[in-house]
Amino acid sequence: MSDISPGAAGEAGRSLRCGAFELTLKRPLIMGIVNLTPDSFSGDGLAASVRQAVAYARKQIEAGADLIDLGAESSRPGAAPTPVDEELRRILPVLDALAGCGVPVSVDTYKPEVMRAVLARGASMINDIRALRIPGAITAVADSDCAVCLMHMRGDPSNMQDNPVYTDVVDEVRSFLQARVAIATAAGIGADRLLLDPGFGFGKTLAHNLELLRRFAELPFAGLPMLAGMSRKSMLGAITSRPVDHRLAASLAAALLAIQRGAQVVRVHDVAETRDALAILAAVDID
Ligand code: YH5
C-alpha cells in the first residue's frame, strides 16, 4: 500500500477514542470553536462571560457540532502566554457547565498543568498546537483515555511568521507528525486516540498554506485521521481581501476542499453553515 494514497486515512481506525466517547470517522466531523479569551465577551465580568460562553457552546452543539473546542489562550502571532491559573479560571467553569452536554469537549492547550486539571474535570480531548512538546505534556495525557490532536507549528507564536522557509512543506509537516506519533505511541498513547493537524497559519506563508491544502491527501499516514483548521484565518483574508468577520464563504470553501482531500475533522467557528455545506457534499458523494 502506498502510504501517500488519498485513501490511506481511515483504513486503520474507523473511530476515534475520545474519553468516554467514541467518535465515528465514517463521516466528516465538525469541531465547533468556543473562544474563551476576554476579548470574546461583553466585559460584564466573569459570571456573565461564563454564561455567554456556555450559551454559545450549546448553540454550536444544537447547530450540529460533533465536538466543542474550548480555547483560553490567544495563539495570535506575538500574543503573550496566559498564566496557568488564568487559563484554568477561564476554562473550568465552562467545562463544568458543559458536563453532560452530549458531545466531547476538547481543550486547546499546550500546558501540562492545564491538561491534567481539565482531564480530571471531564475534558475528552486535548488539542495541542505544540504536539505534546512541552515537558510533562505526554505523561499528563498518557494515563487518561482522552483523544489528542497533534498539530504542526514551526517556531512558536512569538516568531512563527518571521519568514518561515521549507524545502517541501508537505514532507516536513508529515515527517514532524510522524515523529510526534512515534513518541506518543511509545509513551502508551494508543493510535486510536490520535488526530493529526498540519497547523494552517502556524509558521507558514500563504504559499505554504495553499500547498498544504492542495496536497492535503498526501499528509495522512498509518490510517490516522486528519483535522483541518482554516476557519476565518488570515490565509483566507489574503485571498479574498475580506476582514475576519467576512470570511464565512471562504471558510466554507476551505473546509469542503479539505474534506474532499481526506480531512476527517474540520475546526470551525460557523457550525450551522458548515453543516449545510457538508450536507451538499454528502448528498453528492453517496458511497
Ligand atoms: C488549528 O488550526 N488554530 S487558534 C486567526 C484567525 C482565526 C482563527 C485571523 N487552534 C488551530 O483559530 N488547533 C487554533 O483569524 C488550533 N488547529 C488546531 N488543532 C487560531 C485560530 C484563528 C487564528
DSSP per position, 189-211: --GGGEEEE--TTSS--HHHHHH
pLDDT bucket at 12, cuts 50 / 70 / 90 = low
Average pLDDT over residues 172-189: 98
Is the minimum distance from the CB of 108 to ligand 1 under 6 angstroms?
A: yes
Report the residue among 197, 236, 270, 274 best suited for mutation to probe ligand 1: largest number of ligand atoms under 8 A from its CB.
Answer: 197
Question: Residue 8: pLDDT above 60?
Answer: no
* CA 265 to ligand 1 centroid distance, Å: 14
This prediction has a pTM of 0.95
More confident: 156 or 270: 270
* CA 227 to ligand 1 centroid distance, Å: 12
pLDDT for the residue 40 = 87
From the list 186, 153, 157, the residue with the least C-alpha distance to 73 is: 157
Average pLDDT over residues 35-48: 88
More confident: 80 or 15: 15
Give the contacts of 52 (CB within 8 A, at least 6 positions apart): 41, 42
Distance CA 70, CA 123 (A): 10
pLDDT bucket at 10, cuts 50 / 70 / 90 = very low
Average pLDDT over residues 83-101: 97
Distance CA 257, CA 253 (A): 6
Q: What is the mean pLDDT of the chain?
A: 94
Average pLDDT over residues 122-137: 98
Average pLDDT over residues 72-92: 91
Which secondary-structure segment (H or E) carries 17? Answer: strand 15-18
Report the residue among 267, 270, 274 best suited for mutation to probe ligand 1: largest number of ligand atoms under 8 A from its CB.
Answer: 267
Do 170 and 209 touch, CB atoms closer than 8 A? no
From the list 160, 99, 104, 103, the residue with the least C-alpha distance to 130 is: 160
Give the contacts of 209 (CB within 8 A, at least 6 positions apart): 200, 201, 230, 235
Report the residue among 75, 130, 180, 247 best suited for mutation to probe ligand 1: largest number of ligand atoms under 8 A from its CB.
Answer: 75
pLDDT for the residue 41 = 86
Do 18 and 146 touch, CB atoms closer than 8 A? yes
pLDDT for the residue 11 = 47
pLDDT exceeding 70 applies to what percent of the chain? 95
More confident: 41 or 78: 41
Residue with cell 514532524: 176
pLDDT bucket at 80, cuts 50 / 70 / 90 = confident
Question: Residue 190: pLDDT above 90?
Answer: yes
pLDDT for the residue 7 = 40
Question: Residue 249: pLDDT above 90?
Answer: yes
Is the minimum distance from the CB of 106 to ligand 1 under 6 angstroms?
A: no
Q: Whose CA is nearest to atom 17 of ligand 1?
A: 229
- Kindly report, residue by residue over 213-222, the tens digit of the pLDDT: 999 999 999 9
From the list 14, 30, 94, the residue with the least C-alpha distance to 281 is: 30
Is the minimum distance from the CB of 151 to ligand 1 under 6 angstroms?
A: yes
pLDDT for the residue 287 = 64
Average pLDDT over residues 206-211: 98
What residue ranges define each of the domains in the chain, with the CATH number in brackets?
Answer: 4-285 (3.20.20.20)
Distance CA 252, CA 281 (A): 12
Q: Is 91 helix (H, G, I), strand (E, B) or coil?
A: helix
